[in-house]
Chains A and B, each alone.
Chain A
Amino acid sequence: MRSAGASDVPAIAIRDLHVRLAGEDVLQGISLDIPRGDFLGLIGPNGAGKSVLLRTILGQIEPSHGDVRIFGQRLEDARGVVSYVPQFADFDRSFPIRVCEVVLMGLLKHRGIFHRWTRGDREVAYNALAKVDLAHLGERQIGKLSGGELQRVLIARALAVGSEILLLDEPSASLDTRVAGRLYELLRELSSSHTLVLVSHDIGVMSKHVRNLACLNRRLIHHGPPELTSEALHLTYGHSVEEISHHHEGIET
């Protein structure tokens, strides 16, 4: 098995990562290996540094110490291997653009600057849309989609990039429970072919679907299968488990 060395290399390897922003130590000594094919849920209170960690993995924030490797490569050499899926709510829905044009953006890395989209490019985009069951909406303007549909379009765009690793920031935020459930179903299907890292506040729903959980509060409190000890939750959130589960029922119902 040693000879199959490549598969032993973690998809994302984080070593003693420190990030300082505006004089604050936002991330302190994070070390985390995320194996290929993992479906990792990242939880933590507001200000825990979840988004900062995602942005550091994407190379948008320079760590003050430590490093991040993607399949053993430095971030500069791994452009396009990791894709970020933003929250649909951050988008201007009145922007005059069609669904398939959004997905075509995923191909920008592979096409030269003066290239015009071809029929083949559109096929790639429509294949990505088919994976999220939205091929029938390809010619709609994005404002005519529901929130859940637009979120899936953004996932399709990341699939069109061809990235093996997808980072998703609160994809189920502002979606109702039923739509969020379908989104998690889709993510679970995708996790058979992709490595997924998912930030969410929705601990209950998420821990039903993810393979592993990481609890972050500037430091890494817990990393492992999604059975959380009350100690880990207390360390992460700073209050009792009852309060969290109560809070969390409030979100669910």
Chain B
Amino acid sequence: MNTLAEALSYPFFQRALIAGVLASIACGIVGSFVVVKRITSMSGGLAHAAFGGVGLGLAFGFSPWFGAVGFTLACALVLGAVYHKRPDALEPTISTLWAGGMALGILLVSLAAGPKPDLIGYLFGSILFVPRDYLWLVSVLDLCLLLGLGLLFKELQASVFDEAFAASLGVPTRWLFQLILAASALVIVVLIRVVGIVLVIALLTVPAIVARQWAESLPRMMVGAAAIGTVCTTGGLLASYAFSVASKADVPSGPLVILLAIGIYGLSSLAGALRNRRRNA
């Protein structure tokens, strides 16, 4: 218990916990759309393509983060167009952006002059070193997502549930799909800084998949996913602190957050199976 109190007394640890909560809110909202629309592989492709943008920024002398935002949004536009116009070409396009983005990023980073960001940092993030300004940025992102949701919820819900029907009533479903992809791209890029490429995909999908097993409506799924994400990031951070103190080694929080999320997914699936068996009995 002492270890816990000690961890919570550090400002950097408090910032990490807040970052985890803010990231979970963004992931709960966007991840729920990604999961019900079955586009998790598209978000995985975007997360890896983002690294290509980082490389472009470093190579051409602009901010790597602007590079990542611009490049990932461009990839989202391409994926959105392919999704509707050439659905048969979607899988190859995702794989190309996925691998090509990473390859481009690694190559350009190695060629760039000056200090180089380390790849592990991009893969697993650095939630313990999140600057205060960044928390504001993620808060603004969360607010924008909530506002967009408040204004467009019924159209978004209809277009992910039954796109053909929504389109027949004049709902701009393609535009809304692009919006969902663009929001995923933004959330991914902003959160790579906090939790890394691997963890952003996990936080985007696993809490939403668990919430979907229990939620009766999309808003409840989002709230559930945000709550599960919060439990995972908080639990992962505390566990990493406790393990680090106990083993006197530097145990990273990212993998612990993911393993915790997967553990919750396993338990939830088991509980869901038991519930169904009881209902059918």
Contacts and interface: CB of A to CB of B under 8 A. Distances in A.
A98 B217 contact: yes
Interface in A103-140: 104-106, 108-109, 111, 113-117, 140
A73 B164 CA distance: 22
A98 B217 CA distance: 6
Q: Mostly helix, strand, loop or mixed at chain B's interface?
A: helix
Nearest to B218: A96
A104 B161 contact: no
A86 interface: yes
A106 B217 CA distance: 18
Classify the interface of chain A: helix, strand, loop or mixed: loop
Contacts of B220: 96
B169 A80 contact: yes
Interface residues of A, number: 31
Interface string A76-94: 0001100110100001101
Nearest to A91: B162
A94 to B, nearest CB: 7
A91 to B, nearest CB: 8
A98 B158 contact: no
Interface residues of B, number: 23
Contact of B154 (A58, A94, A117): A117
A79 B170 contact: yes
A101 B165 CA distance: 14
Contacts of B218: 96-97
Contact of A95 (B36, B154, B164, B168): B36
Contact of A97 (B151, B157, B168): B157
A159 B173 CA distance: 22
A161 interface: yes
Contact of B166 (A79, A105, A117): A105
B158 A105 contact: yes
A141 to B, nearest CB: 4
Nearest to B215: A96
B128 interface: no
Contacts of A157: 165
Interface string B130-171: 000000000000000000000110110110011011101111
10 nearest CB pairs, A to B: A141-B216, A109-B169, A96-B215, A108-B169, A105-B158, A96-B221, A114-B151, A96-B217, A96-B218, A98-B217
Interface of A: 58, 60, 79-80, 83-84, 86, 91-92, 94-98, 101-102, 104-106, 108-109, 111, 113-117, 140-141, 157, 161
Given A84-B168, A97-B217, A108-B169, 13 more contacts: A80-B168, A86-B162, A91-B162, A92-B36, A95-B36, A97-B218, A105-B157, A105-B161, A105-B166, A108-B158, A108-B166, A141-B216, A157-B165
